[in-house]
Structure 1
Amino acid sequence: MAKGRYSIKMLLATIIAGVIYSVIAEIFYRVAENAMPGLVLIPLYFTGLFLVLGGTVLLTGKMIYSRSAGTVNKKQWLIALLLIVVLSVFFEFLYEIVSDRRKNEEITAYLFVLDDSGSMEVNDPDRVRYQVIDTLLADKPEDFQYGIYSFNDEIRVLREMAPKSQKTDYVYPDVAGGTRIRGVLSTIEQDLEDGTLSLDEHSRVILLSDGYATDISVFSKNRVLNALKGLVKNGVSVSTVGLSDADDTLMTMIADKTGGVYVKAEDVTTLEAAMNQAAVSHNTARNLLGYRSAFFLNGLLGVMRIVFIALLGVVIAVEKTILAERFLDTSAVLMSSAIGSILAGICIEIGMNMLGVHPTIMRMITCVLIAFTLLKNDLGNRYEEGAGVKYAGR
């Protein structure tokens, strides 16, 4: 029997389907993320991927094999569909059930981290950001702790962490220079490590900036996550406030990764409301496809995400195998799809939570890895692609 070859048409069709679905699904995900619970969002996401890839394999097979024999085993396909729905609900439930111990705890300390770069001369010339601090502390008890860090090209500690009752006069720094967001986060981490700064899981860091970080490149965002390790280790959440032209992507990543919230302030008139929201809000939500702000059982949750996404991908691989049974060799379909699914689980966990890659990119890569399909044609006994002629294997 002649050696088989892989169907380029099937490979390209499934990859293209994965890319197209990832774009549409990302739009849906962004709209629905805060509008519906993860127990609904994640099953819809994976069920949609299941249906799109299944339809792609079926239609592509029909185009390749004009006289393909047999019919689809509808019972097996329906079982696979039921599995993807049930398992995605079950896996999302298990992933969410690990509780965040900070959920109902009262905040006892604030660390304000304020941008004093040159652009602040335009966006907040009256230094409303500093005035808001007094407003936020007005109803706090005298033993409430707070501190203030300032950053531009230099990192300064304007007020050490101390009780509100300890009156401290500090001089506003000059507004000039760049926006060293990674630098100030690294300084805070270092101060935590050497004991200069004391924060615990009852503390909240509030980071305000009006522009893009001047010490972070596209390829160094993972260093921001490294700078957050000390905060994550101590269970401290960072809520971020973006004024005017802030880097929404970076500020969202910092907040999501540490369990804080990101609040946008279009101009200085809404700054007080934004900082107040950042000061009081928690974000304890998580789902299989988003950033994880876990301080408790973080390693276990990482393994759970990899395994769960891989298993959901395997169910889709089984579906593709069921639909490709009429097209001769399905072992390559199952093997390639299973390998892609395992890689998808590993990539989304490492990419988002270790390397700091934007979730949109990682979700798209996940879809493509689960989608790609190798269908091996047996040249000794096959239907010729596009011709419908069966070879006898002479």
Structure 2
Amino acid sequence: MQRKINLLLFFFSLLGGGVAFVLGELLLSRRPYDLPSIVLVGIYFAIVALGVGLGCLIAEMISPRLNGLSWKQRYLGLSWKLLPLTLVLMLGVGVLTEFVYELNFGGIKPIKNVVMVIDDSGSMMQSDPDNSRYAAADALVRQMDEDNQVAVVTFSDESSVVQPLISLSSSANREKVSAVISSLQTTEGGTNISGALTEAMNVINSDDKAGRGAMVILLSDGFSQFNTATELNEYVERGIAVNTIGLALDDTSGSNLLLDIASVTGGQYYDVTDANRLGDVFQQIYDRLGDRTLLTERSDATADSPYYAVVRILALMLIGITLGVGLGIVFDNRHLAKSFGVGGAVSGLFAGLILEFGLSGHSYWDAIIRLIALLVLAAIISLFTFVVPVGEGRLSRRGERNAAASAPSSEGFHSPRRNRGSKGF
């Protein structure tokens, strides 16, 4: 039993973690076959196990400093066969922890109701001459899930509910909403954001099922008198986020107001200079609708919940332990499984803290945070053999049988001493 480090394994584990990060980000961004987030996260961590596992295995093949030369000579083929088991373990643990993380506790309601509040004041003739905002809203309605409800409010000097909350469970309702949006036209008048948000709250209150599980998308290109300290009290008390979009805002007072509205209510502000980008922004907001995964920032009513913060950190610790024990299984070594497993708990703790306090909702920065978390996870596990000593010790029965068969028998081992003793007598 020795404390030792394989620097090649350290570097290869980081390399494997980096490759896994690239593949994982492609998976998250493209979301093939509209996979549910529970399955998506499970596959993500299985990819991590594959990348780090392959890196460590190849490193020990080249320089077997941790598991010994006898492993390379006798058990290397078995290790390749055991690698898929690690992937299955990580897939299962990833799915399980994500399932627990997505459970709603404490009366929290998932966000299923979306109220789109769209500026149709006269200034929109310059900001959005092609009415791209209506096309973006229509495209979003067509992309929403069947269990969503949607409403549309337009405003200039006055606000108008052009579509009350309606379920999208039927294609007829979906077509009805699309027809309403397609018929909208820019009008004359100014910008009354205060009246628009008051009308949006009235729409939410009109549905007993909306309650806390609602969200508002507010799009405007102007500024109006609005007291964020008092006029947003009901939104704040009920945990209803207002995501704001500023279109072609040259006046900083308009963008500052929309930013304040989003910040006070727990929403996000999006600054858009080109109306043709509105479709992507609408879709981005919807993709974050009630988003709560281990790999992304919480954007629902649990955003500041210490409970879900602890759950994320504990989940990453369990994932780290699984990765470490899985590597020990790959090498068929119970001592490595122990060392890597303890290291996995420590690395999972740090990775969980990095994700919990580093994720911000910004796509580029969040990707960097996930990369750092993965590299920390791989690095600490690979270096922990210097903390917890390791030696040779097979995990599987096959490995034990092979070790016993290759070892000299007790009789053969002691026979030379007995012969020397008898000769002396």
Aligned residue identity for 1:366: A
Write out aligned runs for 1:301-320 (5 A): 301-320=308-327
RMSD: 5.2
Per-residue Cα deviation, 1:15-56 (whole angstroms, up to 9, x for no partner): 111112101211121101782101211111111211222222
Write out aligned runs for 1:184-263 (5 A): 191-192=227-228, 194-200=229-235, 201=238, 205=242, 207-210=244-247, 230-232=264-266, 237=267, 242=272, 244=274, 263=279
Tell which structure's C-alpha radius of gyration is larger: 2
Whether 1:299 aligns to 2:315 is: no
Q: CA deviation at 1:285?
A: 3.8
Q: Is the contact made by 2:296 and 2:361 (CA closer than 8 Å) also made in structure 1? A: no
Q: Residues 278, 13 of structure 1: CA spacing in aligned structure 2 closer, same or farther, 3 A cutoff?
A: closer
Q: Residues 282, 326 of structure 1: CA spacing in aligned structure 2 closer, same or farther, 3 A cutoff?
A: closer
1:176 match: none
Question: Which residue, out of 349, 369, 378, partners 2:376?
Answer: 369
Q: Residues 303, 327 of structure 1: CA spacing in aligned structure 2 closer, same or farther, 3 A cutoff?
A: closer
1:350 match: 357
SS of 2:383 mapped into structure 1: coil
Whether 1:85 aligns to 2:91 is: yes
Q: CA deviation at 1:295?
A: 1.1
Write out aligned runs for 1:65-76 (5 A): 65=64, 67-69=69-71, 70-71=74-75
1:323 match: 330
Aligned residue identity for 2:327: K
Per-residue Cα deviation, 1:34-83 (whole angstroms, up to 9, x for no partner): 82101211111111211222222122111102833352777987765543
Q: Is the contact made by 2:320 and 2:344 (CA closer than 8 Å) also made in structure 1? A: yes
Measure, in 1, the Cα distance between the counterparts of 2:291 and 2:127. Answer: 32
Measure, in 1, the Cα distance between the counterparts of 2:163 and 2:319. Answer: 48
SS of 1:98 mapped into structure 2: coil
Share of identical aligned residues, percent? Answer: 18
Q: CA deviation at 1:227?
A: 8.1
The two structures have a TM-score, normalised by structure 2, of 0.54
Q: Is the contact made by 2:321 and 2:340 (CA closer than 8 Å) also made in structure 1? A: no
Q: Is the contact made by 1:32 and 1:41 (CA closer than 8 Å) also made in structure 2? A: yes
Aligned residue identity for 1:374: L
Q: CA deviation at 1:318?
A: 1.0
Per-residue Cα deviation, 1:175-216 (whole angstroms, up to 9, x for no partner): xxxxxxxxx9xx98xx44x3254442486635223579999x
SS of 1:295 mapped into structure 2: coil
Whether 1:96 aligns to 2:105 is: no
Measure, in 2, the Cα distance between the counterparts of 1:360 and 1:31. Answer: 14
Per-residue Cα deviation, 1:225-283 (whole angstroms, up to 9, x for no partner): 99855313xxxx5585845289x8xxxxxxxxxxxxx8437xxxxxxxx6xx8999992
Q: Is the contact made by 1:111 and 1:204 (CA closer than 8 Å) also made in structure 2? A: no
Write out aligned runs for 1:143-222 (5 A): 158-161=192-195, 191-192=227-228, 194-200=229-235, 201=238, 205=242, 207-210=244-247
Measure, in 1, the Cα distance between the counterparts of 2:11 and 2:368. Answer: 20
SS of 2:155 mapped into structure 1: helix
Aligned residue identity for 2:295: L
Q: CA deviation at 1:9?
A: 0.9
Q: Is the contact made by 2:90 and 2:323 (CA closer than 8 Å) also made in structure 1? A: yes
Q: Is the contact made by 1:210 and 1:245 (CA closer than 8 Å) also made in structure 2? A: yes
Uncovered stretches (5+) of structure 2, i.e. residues with no partner: 135-152, 165-189, 200-221, 253-257, 393-425
SS of 1:287 mapped into structure 2: coil
Q: Residues 103, 57 of structure 1: CA spacing in aligned structure 2 closer, same or farther, 3 A cutoff?
A: same
2:171 match: none
Whether 1:27 aligns to 2:14 is: no
Per-residue Cα deviation, 1:334-369 (whole angstroms, up to 9, x for no partner): 444332221111111110159998321122222212
Q: Is the contact made by 1:305 and 1:345 (CA closer than 8 Å) also made in structure 2? A: yes
Measure, in 2, the Cα distance between the counterparts of 1:320 and 1:104. Answer: 41
Q: Is the contact made by 2:93 and 2:322 (CA closer than 8 Å) also made in structure 1? A: no
Question: Which residue, out of 272, 280, 295, partners 1:264?
Answer: 280
| Bigger Cα displacement from structure 2, 132-141 vs 36-45 | 132-141
Measure, in 2, the Cα distance between the counterparts of 1:278 and 1:27. Answer: 16
Aligned residue identity for 1:207: T
Measure, in 2, the Cα distance between the counterparts of 1:77 and 1:354. Answer: 34
Q: CA deviation at 1:311?
A: 0.7
SS of 2:296 mapped into structure 1: coil
Uncovered stretches (5+) of structure 1, i.e. residues with no partner: 142-155, 165-183, 216-223, 249-261, 266-273, 383-394
Measure, in 1, the Cα distance between the counterparts of 2:48 and 2:25. Answer: 12
Write out aligned runs for 1:330-345 (5 A): 333-345=340-352
- The answer to which structure has the higher helix fraction is 2
How many pairs were matched up? 303
| Bigger Cα displacement from structure 2, 38-47 vs 285-294 | 285-294
Whether 1:283 aligns to 2:318 is: no
Measure, in 2, the Cα distance between the counterparts of 1:355 and 1:278. Answer: 11
SS of 1:292 mapped into structure 2: coil
Q: Is the contact made by 2:53 and 2:327 (CA closer than 8 Å) also made in structure 1? A: yes
Aligned residue identity for 2:70: S
The two structures have a TM-score, normalised by structure 1, of 0.58
Measure, in 1, the Cα distance between the counterparts of 2:336 and 2:132. Answer: 68
Aligned residue identity for 1:339: V
Q: Residues 103, 29 of structure 1: CA spacing in aligned structure 2 closer, same or farther, 3 A cutoff?
A: closer
Q: Residues 9, 279 of structure 1: CA spacing in aligned structure 2 closer, same or farther, 3 A cutoff?
A: closer
